[in-house]
Every structure is written in structure tokens, then in C-alpha cells.
Amino acid sequence: MLYFVATPIGNLKDITLRAIEVLNSVDIIACEDTRNSLKLLNHYNISKKLISYHKFNEDNSADGIIALLKQGKNIALISDAGMPVISDPGEKIIDKLKQNNLEYTVVPGANAGLCALLLSGLDASRFTFVGFLPDNKKECKRILDEIKTYKTTLVFYVAPHDVAQINKKLFEALGARRAVFVNEITKLYEKTNVITLGEPLTFEPKGEYVLVVDGDKNAEQNDLLELSLEEHFNYYIGLGMQKNEAIKRVAKERGINKNEVYQVAIQKN
């Protein structure tokens, strides 16, 4: 069995009892960076054979892990922080596991993107996880063109040296949206920096960030304008809005007199 095990993203206490149990029980632990993982393993007195599994040796390491699994070994795969595979190495080994009909499972835990989404205060009811934008300019543009009309909140991962650049890049692609840079998640100096895309940064980038960005509000409004006047009004009533407030909102969004909306509203009585 191969176990994909989530590890803490900052505070070493953010690990599950099951994760500790699995890491203690397996024969081998595959690590993104063995030196980094040793800090966690030593903290919990876990002593196992470690092998390297990262994006630069993923193909060869995946083949080696498959061979070990076929020999009957139980293996845990961990990344430096958070959930393996999610913007971290692991997809290639999943493909090979399926090809070889080998079992695997996940041991859940901390995830930086979800924590940052909550900390940002932006709409968490629906979101799109983008992760790291590719370095390739053509591929990066393709992704930004695809997501610029998404109504969902957008979640990006950002390296410290890319913070200023991604602020500029997203402003050019998405416009002046509300955004929140979150870093040091679960640590003593956990920080959220609220900005409008395109404005100068007021903080010195340090460490990796999660960037949470508002979805396209214009796209949502355009969708509402395609509804009939009655449907538009009913949409806000369905959200729990008071009748008078819904009348004002619909009239403003459609650029019409409130009395027109009121006539629709009184028909519901």
C-alpha cells in the first residue's frame, strides 16, 4: 500500500494521530526533501528509511517506488508541507499505481489553500484552485484567459520572488479586484495582506504565499441581467434579502425605476 500523507504547513502540531500512526507503521517514507522532513519525523520520534521523491527525479523515483510496492513494502509519501500532489509531486506516481493495479490511499490533513481561503474573508462558498501559475508565458496567458470570467473565488500559490510580478500580471488579466496575500499560515506571525490588484505592495515578501482573489463580479451581474425582472427579484429574495432591499438592488443593477420592480414585488403577496 502507498499512503499519501498530509503533513503540517507550519505548526508541527497540525498533524493527525492517523498520520503519525501510518508514518510509524510503514517500511519506507518517500520525501520531497529528506532534510526538511527529518525535522518533522524527529519531532515525533519516527525513524524510518527515507528515499527522495521530488519533481526533478519523479520519473525514476516513481518506478523505484512501484518496484518496492511489488516487493510487499508499505510506503508513505509526504511533501515538505501540506497535501502531496496538490501543487507538489505525486501525479506521476498515481498514474503508475493505476497502470500496475496497486493500492493507494490518502491520509488527510493540513492544506494551505483552504486555510488561506478561510483567512482571506472572501467568498468561500465556491472557489477555483489554480495553484502556481506556469513559467511558460503562453501557457500562463492561456490559464488567465480561461479563468478571468470565473465567478468563483480564485486561489493561487505564489513563490516569494514572484509576489510583485503576479500582482502586476493578475491586474493586467483580471482588473482591479480585491485580493488577499496570506503567509506564515498556522505560525506565530501568520499574516493577511489585503490589497486591490495593481496597487503597490505595502509589505516585504517573505516565504511562500497563498493569494486569494475575488471572482468576476461583472460575470455574476451579467448572468442576473439575463433573467426576467421577476426572476431577478426572486433571486435576491431567495438569498434571504428583505423585499425593500431586493427592490433597490434589482432597480440599481438594471438601471430602472424602483417602482417597476415594486409592481413585480406586490404580485408576490
What is this structure's pTM?
A: 0.79
**pLDDT score, position 218:** 74
Task: Measure the CA–CA gap between 215 and 119, rounded to whole angstroms.
Answer: 16
* 3-state SS, residue 35: helix
Would residue 29 be called left, alpha or beta, if left means φ above 0 and alpha means ψ between -120 and 50 degrees? beta
The pLDDT mean for the chain works out to 90
Q: 37: Cβ–Cβ under 8 A, 6 or more apart, which residues?
A: 7, 29, 31, 50, 78, 80
Catalogue all structural domains in the chain, each as residue range(s) with its CATH number.
2-109 (3.40.1010.10), 113-216 (3.30.950.10), 227-266 (no CATH)
CA–CA distances in Å: residue 8 to residues 117, 141, 255: 17, 32, 50
Contact 216, 126 (CB under 8 A): no
Q: Is the pLDDT of residue 78 over 80?
A: yes
Q: What is the mean pLDDT of residues 237-266?
A: 79
pLDDT score of 220:
64
Task: Report the pLDDT averaged over residues 154-176.
Answer: 94
Please check the confidence at residue 269 and state whether its pLDDT lies above 70. Answer: no
Do residues 194 and 255 make contact, with C-beta atoms less than 8 angstroms apart? Answer: no
| Reported confidence tier of residue 181, pLDDT bands at 50, 70, 90 | very high
Could you tell me the pLDDT band of residue 113, with boundaries at 50, 70 and 90? very high
Q: How large is the average pLDDT for residues 60-75?
A: 94
Specify the residue for cell string 481561503: 117
**pLDDT band at 109; cut points 50, 70, 90:** very high
- Pick 240 or 181 by higher pLDDT: 181
Percent of all residues in the chain with a pLDDT value above 90, rounded to a whole number = 69
